[in-house]
Amino acid sequence: MNLKGRNFLTLKDFTPDEILYLLDLAADLKAKKKAGTLLTDMHAGKNIALIFEKTSTRTRCSFEVAAHDLGIQTTYLAEGSQMGKKESIADTARVLGRMYEGIEYRGFGQEIVEELAKYAGVPVWNGLTNEYHPTQMLADMLTVREHCGKLKGVKLVYFGDARYNIGNSLAVVCSKLGLNFTACGPKAYMPNAALLAECEAWCKESGGSITLTESIEEAAKDADVLYTDVWVSMGEPDEVWAERIHDLEPYRVTMDVLKKAKKSAIFMHDLPSFHDMKTKIGKEIGEKFGIKEMEVSDEVFECDQSVVFDEAENRMHTIKAVIAATL
């Protein structure tokens, strides 16, 4: 398998074998990290640029630690870069492509990361756009495989707003790798028809399936994985909170929902999560709307079946695999 020079913009561009190769590489890199094996010679002397137009903890730290472990220097670009304000995406891409061996982008529309990739001349990695979050998916699949022992045939249920980056990306990766993906939420919150048609085609190859349902009973029955995400994503206006809470509150992942799933089911969340009132936004919104928790109850978040911190750790090992394979 040779992924050198490839962009990593969405998993739609990768075959199931390529995705599994990245998961195996990540598992190997994780084992080496735990064993204390140094890999700083692997890409020694290289430089990568990390563009963040939205905030981040996991993705930024994963890129920085992974790069450092591989001998790579990083430059963090957020506030203060000219991109999009005084300089076009295409010009920025051509400048950075002269100085760096790879570029990570987190921000708004998928078309921005596609444009960067078109002009950079070096690999570009998507660190989250409104539409897709592909590095998150590798971490999620590694975590599912570690806990469920397999990927094919696993029933993964996503509760909430399935139209955004996490819902879309889970639909893609599950259909490519043969999982049974269920999106559970109101009809208006489902991935769009064009994406679903692509997913159906991948399911035919992989043996996976896509189910859309409003029924929590149907969704949770026999589920191996319950997954949710924030109700309002980065970059969305504050005005949507009222509608989201109204529409999505019935789909909060609570102990009642978890009990409807398999006994061995795990709970996953890409994080950050509003599971209590210990965050500034969580507290403000909670007080305004009279709720104490949002997409997941604190009880589920903190229970033994919750694997959210394994998932967060796996962001680093999987991002390392992407960098190692594409540079």
Cα–Cα distance, 154 to 117 (Å, whole number)? 33
Q: Binding pattern to ligand CP, positions 102-141, x when CB under 6 A?
A: --------------------------x-------x-----
Site for ligand CP in 54-73 (CB under 6 A): 56-59
Give the one residue of 233, 254, 279, 305 binding ligand NVA; rule: CB under 6 A.
Answer: 233
Q: Which is nearer to ligand NVA, 3 or 113 (CB)?
A: 113
Cβ neighbourhood burial of 70 (10 Å; 0-12, 13-18, 19+): buried
C-alpha distances (whole Å) from 81 to each of 45, 118, 128, 284, 294 are: 24, 20, 18, 31, 34
Give the one residue of 196, 212, 240, 271 binding ligand CP; rule: CB under 6 A.
Answer: 271
Site for ligand NVA in 109-148 (CB under 6 A): 128
**Site for ligand NVA contains 202 (CB under 6 A):** no
Give the one residue of 69, 131, 229, 293 binding ligand NVA; rule: CB under 6 A.
Answer: 229
Task: Sheet with 266-269: list strands edge to edge.
Answer: 209-213, 180-184, 155-159, 225-228, 266-269
Torsion of CA 69, 71, 72, 73, to 10 degrees: 100
* Residue whose beta carbon is closest to ligand NVA: 233
Torsion of CA 249, 254, 260, 266, to 10 degrees: 120
**Site for ligand NVA contains 166 (CB under 6 A):** yes
Stretch that binds ligand CP, among 12-20, 92-100, 206-214, 265-273 (CB under 6 A): 265-273
The region, left, alpha or beta by phi > 0 then psi within -120 to 50, assigned to residue 106 is beta
Give the one residue of 165, 180, 182, 209 binding ligand NVA; rule: CB under 6 A.
Answer: 165
Helices within the chain (DSSP H only): 16-35, 58-69, 89-99, 110-120, 134-148, 165-177, 193-206, 216-220, 241-248, 255-260, 280-289, 298-302, 308-326
**Site for ligand CP contains 279 (CB under 6 A):** no
57 binds, among ligand NVA, ligand CP, none (CB under 5 to 8 A by kind): ligand CP
**What is the binding site for ligand NVA (CB under 6 A)?**
128, 164-166, 229-230, 233-234, 270
- Residues within the interface to ligand CP (CB under 6 A): 56-59, 128, 136, 270-272
